[in-house]
A and B are shown apart, each in its own frame.
Chain A
Amino acid sequence: MTPEILSPAFGLVFDPYVLWVVAGSALFGLFVGAIPGLSATMATALLVPATFFMPPIPAIASMVTATAMAIFAGDIPSCLLRMPGTPASAAYTDEAYALTKKGQGELSLGAGLVFSVIGGLFGTFILILCAPLLAEFALRFSSFEYFWLTLLGLSCAVFIASGDKLKGVISLLIGLLVATVGLDNPAGHPRFTFGLPELMGGAELIPIMVGMFAVSEVMRSSISVAAPLETAQTAIGNVFRGMWGLLKKYPLQTLRGSVLGTLVGALPGAGADIAAWMSYAMSKKFSKEPEKFGTGHIEGIVESGAANNSALAGAWIPAMVFGIPGDSITAIVIGVLYMKNLNPGPTLFVNNAASVYAVFLLFILANLLMLPFGWAAIKSFKQVLRLPRKALLPCILVFCILGAFAINNSVVGIAMMLAFGILAWLMEENGIPVAPAILGMVLGTLLEEHFITSMIKSDGNPLAFFDRPIAGTLAATMIALIVIPTLARLLVRKRPA
């Protein structure tokens, strides 16, 4: 990065108009992200018409800022109301809510904010330092590699489910089964649609998540409306207190979450939500105190909170270098880049170096701005909790209705939310964890798609799954993950005997 490129880049970014756009988009992103049912992708899509009438740099600035804020803001309702604001927060919604119930909402929100910023900055530095290199690597992933990656992700279910393993597997299977609904499968055959055209689109994830987390929680709370809501009593003061201590206590976790997040983000087709699930599971797997996970333990939030924001920057790597979207957000961004004559591709870095570095600067700026803006968002959102519980629950339900409706503007979304809310309530009443089911829904479609396409490509020869170098490595990792703990357990059992 030479000064000749940097100074025009600074000039492009630190322009009053651009800074106004950044501030406006930050507020917009926080608002959209904090509303369940409106995802970070939605925030970007809603910005597209506005960017038609902007010069290139402010147009990109608005998207970068809004998405970074939205991914963080998803943590706020997930922590305070057990409602993931965006799918990227779902992995640690239960953990964050458990912390809030213990009266440590401050710690949970602060960690969400601070480690989002750290993850986002880390992802940005990787984007700056080795975008072309990483993009080349990501391009070598074919369906064989994705199959193993998805399977690795699914094995996370075993780690995230605490308690009864058999019930955890059943929950995962239910999620996988729900993922098979609809027409969008490799065979193009409408499955389990009961003749409803709305179900052809498959089970929409956001209404289901709002139902499984929030509606089931409201049902449980309705039994004891008279009792004070634990969250309302939590005074949320300085959310930054104790963050330095956390960083010193969990440096490895922060780094691991950021690295994994960037890598998963850089892979086309796997975004912030999958990154968060995988990091959360990894955090539990390698933790010194895995038994504390699920009861309100901050370690997993640190790691996966960093992961989902770093994935955001990671997704820009293949997008900028090859015009291949790393996730649904960058799919929209690529369209805008074309519109603004910043055609993505290796030539972008040569012909438009100043603009590329301006984008990098915008990433850094957006992540740093997250600290004051995020702080203000937490402050204002927690006002909601001042309402007495009997008045708050109906408000949450209306909010749920809107979230489930907004994703596809269809009342079917609300019906799905209700059905899955009741299902989740029954599941939790009977000790069946909900998180593996959600993971199954996130990954089920991908697993099937990559398995079937791989089988077609290899003319039905399963050995093809091990043939290619990266696929072979992933397969070995997967097998090691299963075999080593089993072997270790056998050895431990034999020794005392």
Chain B
Amino acid sequence: MTAIKRRHLAGLAAGFTLAAAGTAHAAWPERPITLIVPWGAGGGTDATARIIGSLLEKELKQPVNVVNRTGGSGVVGHQAIASAAPDGYTIGMATVEIGMMHWQGLTALKGSSYTPIALVNADPAGLQVRADSSYKSARDLVDAIKANPGKLKSSGTGQGGIWHLAIAGMLRSLAVDPAASPWVPSNGAAPGLQDLVAGGIEIVPCSLPEARSLIDAGKVRSLAVMDAKPAALYPNVPTLKAATGSDWTLAAWRGIVAPKGLPKDVSDRLLAALEKVHKSAEFNDFMKQRGFGVTWMPPVEFAAFMEKSSNDLGAVMKAVGIVK
């Protein structure tokens, strides 16, 4: 099945490349641009893409239409970006999942299947428990998991999703079996957090902005953040390193990419416009209000980052047993 699919896709991509070849790009952009989001309307990725889209529109003087292509844990949307014509009129927002899906055998796409433009955002994983739970620190929690393997359940995304890997990687780095905290698949962080509050599960290792409203409501407590430094949103939450000594870090990231083979002049123009957007007060205010982390990595670093992200995730996925 995979072989057939690959051949089919390669053929499609080749067809599109041929069709696009020979078009002059001197005056890009001359018509509306489509920005594909592999996730649904209303989520964090959608919101980030929409603010970038509306600011890019001012910068490029052409409408930028945000289009949600959802489903299949991001496969459909990432596929749509990769198989569009590399003419600069279809770009997309790639997310951390691009480094995960190929390990599961869901797609042949990787970070290297695109023309990277820039990384714009990264949100590290947190470690959340119910506010009235008896675990006061990440150390307490890890000890409890180790003492009662299988008892403390975690949730917050689908099976093998990014937050599943966050906790599995954390446990592995602390020499605890990743299966000691079984994963309960959920349809995103919000249902997972709800189940946490309802008492169905014990841990939600999602990002801090996702847990923000329930932390502020006094229903949920964050024990640690899996990053090198504490988050600006909650400076009092310690890093995992400070709490447990583990070096494990993991963040969900979002970046702008284009189909592979984008002409250099178009990519330079797009990068310049995106950099202006990224520096704008509107973008930074928006990200701050939502509690999202702002990062910037130009194409070469972004490509290397995607490669590293994919390798780190692949190692954890092998340990969890979801690599096909």
Residues of A within 8 A of B (CB): 41-42, 44-45, 48-49, 52, 139-145, 182-184, 186-188, 190, 195, 197-198, 200-202, 204, 268-269, 321-325, 328-329, 331-332, 334-335, 338-341, 343-347, 408-410, 449, 452-453, 456-457, 459
Binding site for A on B (CB under 8 A): 1-2, 4-5, 8-9, 40-44, 46-47, 50-51, 53-54, 66-73, 75-76, 79-80, 104, 106-107, 150, 153, 155, 158-161, 182-187, 190-191, 193-195, 197-201, 212-214, 216-219, 282, 286, 289-291, 322
Docked Cα-Cα span, A312 to B184, in Å, equals 29
Q: Contact at B150–A459, with CB atoms within 8 Å?
A: yes
Also in contact, A187 and B72, with CB within 8 A (given A139-B198, A328-B41, A457-B201) = no
B74 to chain A, nearest CB (A): 9
Please determine whether B76 and A201 come into contact, CB atoms closer than 8 angstroms: yes
Asked whether, in the complex, the Cβ of A331 is within 8 Å of the Cβ of B213, the reply is no
Inter-subunit contact B200/A449 (CB<8 Å): no
The answer, among A140, A321, A331, for a CB contact under 8 Å with B43, is A331
Nearest A-chain residue to B53, judged by Cβ? A49
In the docked arrangement, what's the CA distance between A200 and B160, Å? 16
Q: Which B residue's beta carbon lies closest to that of A332?
A: B42
Are the CB atoms of A190 and B41 closer together than 8 Å?
no
Whole-angstrom CA separation of A183 from B77 in the bound complex = 13
Residues in B with CB closer than 8 Å to A332 are 41-42
Question: Which of B73, B155, B322 has the most chain A CB atoms closer than 10 A to its own CB?
Answer: B73
Contacts of A269 in B (CB 8 A): 187, 191
Evaluate contact between B76 and A143: CB separation under 8 angstroms.
no
Q: B218 → chain A, closest Cβ, in Å?
A: 8
By the criterion CB–CB under 8 Å, are B76 and A409 in contact?
Answer: no
- Compute how far the CA of A346 lies from the CA of B219 in the bound complex, rounded to whole angstroms: 11
The residue from A182, A188, A322 contacting B219, defined by CB atoms under 8 A apart: A322
| Residue of A141, A188, A197 touching B158 (CB-CB under 8 A) | A188
The CA of A332 and the CA of B290, in the complex, are separated in Å by 12
Taking CB atoms, residues of chain A closer than 8 Å to B106 are 183, 190, 200
B75 contacts A343, C-beta separation under 8 Å: no
A452 to B104, CA, bound (A): 21
- Name the B residues within 8 Å of A44 (CB-CB): 41-42
Query: Contact: A197 with B198, CB < 8 Å?
Result: no
What are 14 sample pairs from A and B whose C-beta atoms fall under 8 A apart?
Answer: A52-B54, A140-B199, A142-B200, A143-B195, A188-B161, A268-B194, A324-B193, A325-B190, A338-B289, A347-B217, A453-B185, A456-B184, A457-B184, A457-B200
Specify which chain B residues have a CB less than 8 angstroms from the CB of A329 in the assembled complex: 42
**Cβ–Cβ < 8 Å partners of B75 in chain A:** 183, 197, 200-201
- A347 closest partner in B (C-beta): B216
Chain B residues lying within 8 Å of A195, measured Cβ to Cβ, are: 1-2, 4-5, 8
Q: Which of A49, A184, A325, A409 contacts B67 (CB 8 A)?
A: A409
Give every chain A residue within 8 A of B201 (Cβ-Cβ): 457
* Contacts A182-B71, A186-B159 supplied; 12 other A-B pairs, CB < 8 Å: A44-B41, A49-B50, A52-B51, A183-B71, A187-B185, A190-B106, A198-B76, A201-B75, A331-B43, A347-B216, A409-B69, A410-B80
Contact A45 B41 (CB under 8 A): yes
Which residue of chain A has the shortest Cβ distance to B215 in the bound complex? A345
Bound complex: CA A265 to CA B125 (Å): 30
- Pairwise interchain contact B190-A182, C-beta atoms closer than 8 A: no
Residue of B nearest to A193 (CB): B72
Q: Contact at A323–B214, with CB atoms within 8 Å?
A: yes
B68, A45: Cβ atoms under 8 Å?
yes
Do B212 and A339 have beta carbons less than 8 Å apart?
no
CB distance from B48 to the nearest CB of A (A): 10
> With A322-B214, A334-B213 in contact, do A328 and B198 touch (Cβ < 8 Å)?
no
9 tightest A-B CB contacts, nearest first = A201-B71, A323-B213, A200-B72, A142-B200, A45-B41, A331-B42, A332-B42, A142-B198, A188-B159
B124 nearest CB across to chain A (Å): 19
Q: Which residue of B lies closest to A445 (CB)?
A: B187
B290 near A339 with CB under 8 A, answer yes
CB distance from B189 to the nearest CB of A (A): 10
Query: Could you say which residues of chain B place their CB within 8 Å of the CB of A200?
Result: 71-73, 75-76, 106
